[in-house]
Amino acid sequence: MEEVIISLNMVSKHFGRRVILDHISLNIKRGASIALLGPNGSGKSTLLRMIGGLTTVTSGKIEYASPLTFNYVPEHFPKIDLTAREFIDSMGLIEGLTAEAVAARSRELFHGFCMEDMIDVPIKHLSKGTIQKVAVIQALLQSPDVLLLDEPLSGQDRQSQKAFIKLSQTLNHQGVTVIMSCHEQHLVNQLSHSAYEIIDKALFPVTLAKVPEIAYDVMVFDAAPGINVDLSIIDEIEQWNDFENRFELIVSRENSDAVLKQLLTDGFKLRSMGAKEA
């Protein structure tokens, strides 16, 4: 039987008078891969940070079987002055890696995430997707006991998504516990052994069989500056990757006709479209 490494017992979190999470209990086993689902603002990020000890609990208790090492991919990585290379090198050294190990591992990861040309650009000048790659790379420099992922694919291109999924699966197979909050159901299906949904501040298990297998289409559009997406279809877009004036959209197949029609009406130029690979 796998060892329980983190145990949440009736944990609640309040910000002032606002209750974010209410009496949550969860046992996390070593090597598990857990997905946390729920709408924006439901408390997924707070729960992740509580597990990592980055925020306090208002009531209840979180128990750890032993001192654990955590790495964390935040949802919104800040636009800082350091370059990607400076930041990643510093993180590796602080984590205890040797300079040679940091150089080798970061070279491998920068290559895997297709950002070798951008490593000496200050992070504040990188695009949203590339900044998110930096957030992911710093967490993958070394294998921690627990990997906390907060919307890790947000804004990343398909090649980086594939690299990320592969690396996360490898780490998980090596015994790293992965706890992830995400919207993308294709990611849940590929990475997670179990899933929980936060509904009305409480945590409910979701059987993965019930997380529907959804087919997705990928569409690539060009847009002239100043053209905005109609707000009525925003909710239908699973993922939006911005490459200056070119956009890559991942849309569930049942919504792709409506999204395509609206974007063409709004003046976007379709460049390619196809089924998303699993």
Does position 120 bind other proteins by CB under 8 A? Answer: no
Does position 161 bind other proteins by CB under 8 A? Answer: no
Does position 125 bind other proteins by CB under 8 A? Answer: no
Break the chain down into helix, strand, coil percent, rounded to 5: 35, 30, 35
Question: Rounded to the nearest whole angstrom, what is the least distance from the CB of residue 145 to other proteins in the complex?
Answer: 11
Say how many residues touch other proteins, by CB under 8 A: 27
Residue that has been written with the tokens 């516990």 in this structure = 177
Question: Rounded to the nearest whole angstrom, what is the least distance from the CB of residue 133 to other proteins in the complex?
Answer: 15
Question: Rounded to the nearest whole angstrom, what is the least distance from the CB of residue 37 to other proteins in the complex?
Answer: 23
Q: Give dist(CA 148, CA 131) in Å, integer.
A: 17
What's at 274, amino acid-wise? G
Helix segments in the chain, DSSP class H: 44-51, 84-95, 99-112, 128-139, 158-173, 185-191, 253-265
Does position 196 bind other proteins by CB under 8 A? Answer: no
**110 vs 247 by CB, closer to other proteins:** 110
Does position 56 bind other proteins by CB under 8 A? Answer: yes
Q: Is the dihedral of CA 51, 46, 43, 173 positive or negative?
A: negative
Does position 121 bind other proteins by CB under 8 A? Answer: no
From the DSSP assignment, how many helices (H) and strands (E) are in the chain? 7, 13
**102 vs 229 by CB, closer to other proteins:** 102
Q: Give dist(CA 159, CA 267) in Å, integer.
A: 27
Going residue by residue from 78 to 117, which x/- string records binding to other proteins, judged by CB under 8 A? x-xxx---xx--xx-xxx----------------------
Q: For binding to other proteins (CB under 8 A), which residues are involved?
A: 49, 52-56, 67, 69-72, 74, 76-78, 80-82, 86-87, 90-91, 93-95, 138-139
